[in-house]
Amino acid sequence: MKRLIYTSNLFYLFGLMLWVGGMFLLGILVEIMVRVNLKDQPQLGSLIMNKIMDVFNVNII
């Protein structure tokens, strides 16, 4: 029983690690894409970044 709990906890933490890492890399990728494609229009780039962060439920001050 102890081994089952240990194994399931290991899979849970591994999945959580992959999810957090994926969200981090996705945020960096979106930031790079917005900065490269909209460097001449900073206001539009800021608006797009705010909408993307709203999708992930991140409050921007």
- Spatial neighbors of 39 by CB under 8 A, at least 6 apart, are 45
Position 61 pLDDT exceeds 70 = no
State pLDDT tens for residues 2-56: 899 999 999 999 999 999 998 888 888 888 888 888 888 888 888 888 787 777 7
pTM to 2 decimals? 0.60
> Looking at residue 6, what is its pLDDT?
94
Closest CA to 30 of 15, 45, 10, 9: 45
